[in-house]
Amino acid sequence: MKLEWGAATHTGLVRETNQDSHVADGKVFAVADGMGGHAGGEVASRIAIDALRSALAVEGDSSELFAESFEKANLAILAQADEDSRLSGMGTTMTAALFLEDGTSDRFLVRNIGDSRAYILHEGDLHQITNDHTYVQQLIEEGSISVEEGKHHRQRHILTRVLGVETSANSDVFTVTPQPGDVLLLCSDGLFNHVVDHEIAAILASSESPQRIAEMLVEKANLGGGTDNTTTIVVRVLPEKAASHKKVLPVAGDETAMLGEAVGPRVTVNPVSRGPVLSSIPTPLGKKQVSSGSRLVTVRSVLFFILVLLLVGGTAWVVNAYANHAYYVGTANKRVAIYHGRPGGVLWYQPSLVETTSLPLSQLNGTQYFDVSHDVLEPSLQAARAYVTNLRAQIAFEKSQVPKTTTSPTSTTTTLTAPTTSTTTTAAG
Ligand code: MN
C-alpha cells in the first residue's frame, strides 16, 4: 500500500506563537499541541515529537516501541520542566499514526493523549478515530450534556490527560485498516473548533494533493476565526494498480470493525457522520388501483402537500428560534464583542455583531481570554452584557491587588477533581 501525504501548520490570527509541533515522514505522522507559559508550550510539543521519532528509530517491535515512545516523551517533558523552573507546568497533547507495512495487512496504529484528533475519510464519510481526553468529553460520556452542547461548552478546553503532568502517559491506541482511497487526518483543536465536520469531509474528499488539502484546512480554520494554532496532517492511501482487484471487500454493515478495532481498554471508534441507512420502501402488492384523476387521489395529494408545508414551516420555525434566541460574547477587532445568534451560525442563520465593547482583549487574563476567544454563549443580550460587566469588574479587581507572589496572573492552568481515574486537568493551550 502506498501513501502520499502533506502537512501544514499556522499560528492563527490571535496567538503570538505557534505551540503546535508535528512530524510527517511517511512512516510516522504526529501532531502535538503544547501548553504552558514562558515558551513551555513550544518546548513541550517539540520534546514530545522528538522523543517519538527517536524512540521509533530503534530496531524492535514497532507497536511496542510506539507505546514506549509516549512514555519516553512524557518523562522527557517532566525532566526538562524539572531542570528549568520557568517551564514547570508545561504539557502537550500528542496524536500519532504509525504506518505498519507487513504485506497482506497494512495498517495504521493510532495513539493519542489529549484532544488533538485523528479522523479517517472512508467513502465520503468522516469518522473520528480518537476520543478527546477532556472534561467535556467525560460529561458527554456520562450523558450529562449532548455532543452539540459540548461544542460550545465554556470548559471544553480543559484536558483530563496530557503528556508532562503525571508520571505515566495514559494513551489510547487504535488499529485502523485503511482501504485504497481513504484519507487519514491528524489535527490540533484549532481545526475542529473552527471548521465543522461536513466541511472537513468536503475538503478531505477533494482531488487536490494532500499537501494542498492540509493547507486548505488551515486556511479554513483561520477564516473561521483562527483563535488558536492549527496543525493538519493529511495522508492519502493510494490505490494499488496490480493488487486492487484482489482486495477483500468490506462486509456491509461491518464498517466499524473494519475502520478501527479497539486494542486498548475503553477504546471505541466514533463515527462522526454516516450516510443514511438505505432501506427499500416496500411496495404494496395487490393494492386496489385508484384510477388517475379520481377524487380520492386529489384529496390525498392535497392533504400530503399540506402536511409537507406544515413540516417545512415547523422546522424553519424551530431552526429560527434556536438560531436567534441566543447571544454570545466573542471577539471583534481585538476587543470583546457581543453577537446575536450562535457561534458558527445555524444553517442559513449567521450570527451578527451587536456591539464591539471598549474592552481590549489584551486586558484579559489567560482564563478570560480563553473563554472569550472561544465564544461564551448567553441566553439574552442582557446576560451577555452582564458577562462583559463582570469581566471588567474582575480586571479592575485584579489591578487593585498588590502582587504578592511571582505567580503568573496569565496562567490558564486549572485543577479539578475528575470523577474517574484521572485527576489532573489542564487548560489546553
Ligand atoms: Mn490548540
Look up residue 267 and give its three cell numbers: 477504546
- The alpha carbon of 137 and the centre of ligand 1 are apart by a number of angstroms equal to 16
- The alpha carbon of 349 and the centre of ligand 1 are apart by a number of angstroms equal to 27
How much is the pLDDT for 402? Answer: 58
Above 80 in pLDDT, residue 271? no
CA-based angle 304:305:311, to the nearest 5?
Answer: 90
How much is the pLDDT for 144? Answer: 93
Above 70 in pLDDT, residue 247? no
How much is the pLDDT for 166? Answer: 93
pLDDT digits (tens, 9 = 90+) for 375-413: 888 888 888 998 998 889 888 888 887 554 444 444 444
- Which DSSP helix (H) or strand (E) runs through 111? strand 107-113
410 forms beta bridges with none
How much is the pLDDT for 296? Answer: 54
Look up residue 359 and give its three cell numbers: 474592552
Give the C-alpha separation, 110 to 233, whole Å: 13
How much is the pLDDT for 1? Answer: 86
Torsion on CA atoms 412, 200, 22, 223, rounded to nearest 10: -60
- In one letter, which amino acid is 59? E
Nearest alpha carbon to residue 173 among 256, 131, 111:
111
Give the C-alpha separation, 327 to 392, whole Å: 19
- In one letter, which amino acid is 132? D
How much is the pLDDT for 109? Answer: 96
CA distances from 402 to 382, 397, 399, 405 (A): 32, 10, 8, 9
Which range is least confidently modeled, 100-114, 219-233, 267-281, 356-370? 267-281
How much is the pLDDT for 262? Answer: 38
How much is the pLDDT for 379? Answer: 84
Nearest alpha carbon to residue 217 among 237, 236, 195:
195
pLDDT digits (tens, 9 = 90+) for 16-33: 999 999 999 999 999 999
- The alpha carbon of 378 and the centre of ligand 1 are apart by a number of angstroms equal to 24
- Give the residue with greater pLDDT, 171 vs 268: 171
How much is the pLDDT for 182? Answer: 96
Q: How confident is the model at residue 267 (pLDDT cuts 50, 70, 90)?
A: very low
**DSSP structure class, residue 216:** H
- Give the residue with greater pLDDT, 256 vs 132: 132
Average pLDDT of the chain, as a whole number = 81
Could you tell me if residue 416 is left (phi over 0), alpha (psi between -120 and 50 degrees) or otherwise beta? beta
- The alpha carbon of 94 and the centre of ligand 1 are apart by a number of angstroms equal to 11
280 three-class SS: coil
200-208 mean pLDDT: 97
212-223 mean pLDDT: 98
254-275 mean pLDDT: 36
291-313 mean pLDDT: 69
Q: What percent of the chain has pLDDT over 70?
A: 80
322-350 mean pLDDT: 86
How much is the pLDDT for 426? Answer: 52
- The alpha carbon of 229 and the centre of ligand 1 are apart by a number of angstroms equal to 6
- Alpha-carbon radius of gyration of the chain: 25
Q: How confident is the model at residue 310 (pLDDT cuts 50, 70, 90)?
A: confident
Distance of CA 193 to the CA centre of its chain: 6
- The alpha carbon of 57 and the centre of ligand 1 are apart by a number of angstroms equal to 28
- Give the residue with greater pLDDT, 4 vs 153: 4
- The alpha carbon of 82 and the centre of ligand 1 are apart by a number of angstroms equal to 24
- The alpha carbon of 188 and the centre of ligand 1 are apart by a number of angstroms equal to 6
- The alpha carbon of 383 and the centre of ligand 1 are apart by a number of angstroms equal to 28
Could you tell me if residue 333 is left (phi over 0), alpha (psi between -120 and 50 degrees) or otherwise beta? left
Give me the count of residues in the chain. Answer: 429
* Sign of the dihedral defined by the CA atoms of residues 259, 6, 187, 69, in that order: positive
Give the C-alpha separation, 62 to 264, whole Å: 16
- The alpha carbon of 163 and the centre of ligand 1 are apart by a number of angstroms equal to 14
Give the C-alpha separation, 27 to 105, whole Å: 15
Out of 141-155, 217-231, 298-312, the most confident range is: 217-231
- Give the residue with greater pLDDT, 166 vs 254: 166
- The alpha carbon of 186 and the centre of ligand 1 are apart by a number of angstroms equal to 13
How much is the pLDDT for 323? Answer: 81
- The alpha carbon of 291 and the centre of ligand 1 are apart by a number of angstroms equal to 65
Non-local CB neighbours of 290 within 8 Å, separated by 6+ positions: 296, 297
DSSP string spanning 344-397? T-BTTB--EEEEEEEEEGGGS-HHHHHHHHT-EEESSHHHHHHHHHHHHHHHHH
Phi, psi angle pair for 313, to nearest 5° = -60, -45
- The alpha carbon of 292 and the centre of ligand 1 are apart by a number of angstroms equal to 63
Neighbours of 162 (CB within 10 A): 32
Is residue 183 classed exposed, middle or buried when 0-12, 13-18 and 19+ CB atoms within 10 A define those classes?
A: buried
Neighbours of ion ligand 1 (CB under 5 A): 33, 188-189, 228
pLDDT digits (tens, 9 = 90+) for 73-104: 999 999 999 999 999 999 999 999 999 987 77
Which range is least confidently modeled, 209-223, 295-309, 345-359? 295-309
- The alpha carbon of 393 and the centre of ligand 1 are apart by a number of angstroms equal to 28
With contact defined as beta carbons under 8 Å apart, do 222 and 10 qualify?
yes
Q: How confident is the model at residue 251 (pLDDT cuts 50, 70, 90)?
A: very low
